[in-house]
Chains A and B, each alone.
Chain A
Amino acid sequence: MNQETRSLRKILVANRGEIAVRVIRACREAGIATVAVVSTADTAALHAEMADEVVVLGPPEPAASYLDQDKVLGAALETGADAVHPGYGFLAENAGFARRCLEAGLVFIGPSPEVIDTMGEKTAARAVMEEAGVPVVPGALLPDPDAEGGFPADVVAEATAQLGCPVMVKAAFGGGGKGMRLVTDPQAVMAACEAAAREAKGAFGNGRIYLEKFIEQPRHVEFQIFGDAAGNAVHLFERECSIQRRHQKIIEETPSPALTDDLRRDMGQAAVAAARAVGYVGAGTVEFLLDPDGGYYFLEMNTRLQVEHPVTELITGTDLVRAQIEVAAGGTLPWRQEDLTVHGHAIECRVYAEDPEQDFMPSLGCLVGLVEPAGPGVRVDTGVRRGDEIGIHYDPLIAKLSVHAGDRAAAIDRAAAALRDYAVLGVTTNIEYLLAILADDAFGRGDLHTGFLAERMAGWKSGRADDSVLAMITAAVAEQSTASVPVNGIDGARDDSGPWEHLGRFRLRGLE
């Protein structure tokens, strides 16, 4: 099949932080020029310094910078970029933005606007999946609420009977949990639907409700898929992402301890069928819920590269961002299904500047000390450096720490050792909390489900009170040892270092 290929010589990365760094790295390896965009809070950020050109978009608030389509497009056109890589979050799944890129003659590194639209709406996505023969979570879309905000009693009763209780009441057009309720008593379903419809109408302007079978203790297992413009589609196996707190993933791994080879093959085929059903081009993820009996159901599809893609890269030896760029330029997939195999086990831990003892409130401050772990099988994806400020405007992600080892037990050991070596000073982090999860018996056995953290880690407390005497001793000795009290920075850095430390982050352009 004849394909239009387009040479991508310059890519604008419409994002920030670690994913911008990731994409810029891939571009540099491919010999492609890069344009970074920044808000005024990010002018000295790592991703800005790594790029060949930088365009300042506006003030820190995302709406005035990273989410401002006019400014981002303007930057792409003014710098002569060929393509835009949206990363994840921000404009990555904004069909309107994708459309505007195409209209402006830019390549959007992602699927088509139509696919983004279809997969973005739950019931449309489910309908496509059902057509393609992919199992979906059994559900029923209720008719529009009537003038009084009510639903026909017989319809609700029948849906409830068919799905069984407990049942999830959800907004058809919503997200973020608004309108969502779990109902255990069949008698309470109608009232829950009416309340949810009111909430949804208020939040999204649309009170359409659907009922979904509630799957107890599900595991979140997602499949990485990839398609090209020639119609090829493959899966790059699964990721188990059941370690979630309030629907936010904090530990992901692959392979999933719950999947047999047969189940992996079946689910992989279903994921590929999903990709083919919509003519998917680029990287995408098909999310499934896996019930304790091994039944799997389509949950949703994410039309972007995901945060947790490193673990897939580690076990398959692939570069997904590089592949995104090649496919977006019109190339065919770099792998056939038979070329892809799983090697070893990978785990990713998301290190956040947050305080697990204060309801995970973000911990703001300057990273006065930062020492990243290293060693065989240790990978750190970060967008921050020592001296950077963790502020209020963006996600408080410090880094994604991923490890790769021969098997799951070795990967857990490696992840824990790496976390213990990850020195972050100046803000509170969730590192100790992550260590506690890795040390948990059930985690070690692979007995995971989406309620794991709520069940096993509720009320977790740091053990740092036990070490406070040691901490004070060390701080005092350090204080006494330095000629003058250091204003900022790791103690001893001034004394021990040569002249290079004082140059700071000085780089000679073009000589890296």
Chain B
Amino acid sequence: MRLHYRIGDQEHEVEVAPLGDHWRVTVDGETREVMARRDGAGGWLVDWDGRRHRLQVAAAGEERFVFAAGRTHRLHLFDPDAGHEEESTDGPGLRANMPGKVVRVMVNVGDTVQEGQPVLILESMKMETERTAAVAGTVAAVHVEPGQVVAQGDALLDIEPGAEA
């Protein structure tokens, strides 16, 4: 079985094949054999890199969560043959990463912004978060106004990448 995972902004290819009580796994071209089996309580035991690891795996839609020793990994399962998905990342535009209310918009259409410049303040869960421009460029569109309630993934503003001011 060949699977594709996105972790953060990195994409990976993983292939697994069962070999009796072992597995042959290839991660981004590197192959090795690992011992992996379920434990009695819904988790996994994996012998890898000379050590025994205890992990939990859970799924929600296309997200896969893997937990081990206090660390949780978030993997996004995707099909490389499908069309390029709309990801709610800080591409040239800014999207709401959680539902909330727009407190203040600090830029106007036509303004030049630097990478990292604060452009908008969102309030959620009693906290104010300052959102910054991911790239330098010009503000192409502002989709929201102060007081507006936004949902996760909503477009906030668009930035046309360009030279810094």
Which of B42-50, B78-86, B134-142 has 4 or more CB atoms under 8 Å from chain A?
Answer: B42-50
Q: Are B44 and A369 touching (Cβ within 8 A)?
A: no
Q: Are A478 and B70 touching (Cβ within 8 A)?
A: no
Contacts of B41 on A, CB cut-off 8 Å? 371, 496
Interface size on B, residues (CB 8 A): 54
B104 in contact (CB, < 8 A): no
Q: Name the one of A424, A473, A488 contacting B67, with C-beta atoms under 8 angstroms.
A: A424
Q: A488-B60, A489-B58, A490-B58 are in contact. Are A432 and B70 (CB under 8 A)?
A: yes
- Report A16 CB to chain B, min CB distance, Å: 14
CA distance A395 to B46 in the complex (A): 35
Q: A396-B125, A470-B49, A492-B42 are in contact. Are A426 and B58 (CB under 8 A)?
A: yes
Contacts of B124 on A, CB cut-off 8 Å? 362, 392
Q: Are A423 and B34 touching (Cβ within 8 A)?
A: no
Q: Are A362 and B127 touching (Cβ within 8 A)?
A: yes
Q: Are B71 and A479 touching (Cβ within 8 A)?
A: no
* A34-72 interface code vs B (CB 8 A; 1 in, 0 out): 000000000000000000000000000000000000000
CA distance A366 to B67 in the complex (A): 15
Q: Which residue of A lies closest to B124 (CB)?
A: A392
Contacts of B103 on A, CB cut-off 8 Å? none
Q: Are A491 and B100 touching (Cβ within 8 A)?
A: no
Q: Are B99 and A392 touching (Cβ within 8 A)?
A: yes
Of residues 389 through 445 on chain A, the ones whose CB sits less than 8 Å from some CB of chain B are 392-396, 419-420, 422-426, 428-429, 431-432, 435
Contacts of B127 on A, CB cut-off 8 Å? 361-362
Q: Are A480 and B42 touching (Cβ within 8 A)?
A: no
B25 in contact (CB, < 8 A): yes
* A87-119 interface code vs B (CB 8 A; 1 in, 0 out): 000000000000000000000000000000000
Q: Are B59 and A487 touching (Cβ within 8 A)?
A: yes
Q: Are A470 and B57 touching (Cβ within 8 A)?
A: no
A359 in contact (CB, < 8 A): yes
Q: Which residue of A lies closest to B62 (CB)?
A: A485
A472 in contact (CB, < 8 A): yes
| Most chain A beta carbons < 10 A, residue from B1, B25, B44, B125 | B125
B36 in contact (CB, < 8 A): yes
Contacts of A473 on B, CB cut-off 8 Å? 14, 16, 23, 25, 27, 34, 36, 46, 48
B69 in contact (CB, < 8 A): yes
Q: Which residue of B lies closest to A487 (CB)?
A: B59
Which of A17-25, A290-298, A460-468 has 4 or more CB atoms under 8 Å from chain B?
Answer: A460-468
Q: Are A476 and B59 touching (Cβ within 8 A)?
A: no
Chain A interface, DSSP helix/strand/loop, else mixed: mixed
CA distance A365 to B63 in the complex (A): 11
Q: A431-B70, A477-B25 are in contact. Are A496 and B38 (CB under 8 A)?
A: yes
Q: Name the one of A359, A361, A476 contacting B16, with C-beta atoms under 8 angstroms.
A: A476
Counted as pairs of residues, one from A and one from B, with CB atoms less than 8 Å apart, the total is 174
Q: Which residue of B lies closest to A475 (CB)?
A: B64
Q: Are A470 and B3 touching (Cβ within 8 A)?
A: no
Contacts of B71 on A, CB cut-off 8 Å? 431-432, 462-464, 467
B143 in contact (CB, < 8 A): no
Interface size on A, residues (CB 8 A): 55
Q: Are B75 and A478 touching (Cβ within 8 A)?
A: no
- Report B130 CB to chain A, min CB distance, Å: 9
Q: Are A479 and B1 touching (Cβ within 8 A)?
A: yes
* A331-375 interface code vs B (CB 8 A; 1 in, 0 out): 000000000000000000000000000010110111011010000
CA distance A488 to B58 in the complex (A): 7
Contacts of B148 on A, CB cut-off 8 Å? none
Contacts of A184 on B, CB cut-off 8 Å? none
Q: Are A472 and B5 touching (Cβ within 8 A)?
A: yes
Q: Name the one of A365, A419, A472, A497 contacting B12, with C-beta atoms under 8 angstroms.
A: A472
| Most chain A beta carbons < 10 A, residue from B36, B42, B57, B65 | B57
A161 in contact (CB, < 8 A): no
Contacts of B59 on A, CB cut-off 8 Å? 368, 485-489, 491
- Report A401 CB to chain B, min CB distance, Å: 11
Contacts of A478 on B, CB cut-off 8 Å? 44, 57
Q: A362-B127, A476-B3 are in contact. Are A423 and B60 (CB under 8 A)?
A: no
CA distance A490 to B59 in the complex (A): 7
Contacts of B16 on A, CB cut-off 8 Å? 473, 476-477, 479-480
Contacts of A485 on B, CB cut-off 8 Å? 59
- Report B125 CB to chain A, min CB distance, Å: 5
- Report A184 CB to chain B, min CB distance, Å: 26
CA distance A332 to B6 in the complex (A): 61
Q: Are A477 and B36 touching (Cβ within 8 A)?
A: yes
Q: A472-B12, A476-B1 are in contact. Are A435 and B25 (CB under 8 A)?
A: no
CA distance A364 to B63 in the complex (A): 14
Q: Name the one of B38, B68, B98, B129 contacting A471, with C-beta atoms under 8 angstroms.
A: B68
A474 in contact (CB, < 8 A): yes
| Most chain B beta carbons < 10 A, residue from A359, A362, A431, A471 | A471
Q: Name the one of A394, A422, A428, A471 contacting B70, with C-beta atoms under 8 angstroms.
A: A422
Q: A426-B60, A492-B42 are in contact. Are A471 and B73 (CB under 8 A)?
A: yes
CA distance A490 to B99 in the complex (A): 26
| Most chain A beta carbons < 10 A, residue from B7, B56, B63, B67 | B67
CA distance A338 to B61 in the complex (A): 58
Q: A361-B98, A361-B127, A488-B60 are in contact. List 6 more A-B contacts (CB 8 A).
A: A368-B60, A474-B53, A476-B16, A478-B57, A490-B56, A496-B38
25 A-B pairs, CB-CB below 8 angstroms? A361-B129, A371-B43, A392-B98, A420-B69, A426-B58, A426-B60, A432-B70, A463-B71, A464-B72, A467-B73, A468-B12, A470-B49, A470-B68, A473-B16, A474-B55, A474-B57, A475-B64, A476-B16, A477-B16, A477-B23, A479-B16, A480-B1, A488-B58, A491-B57, A496-B42
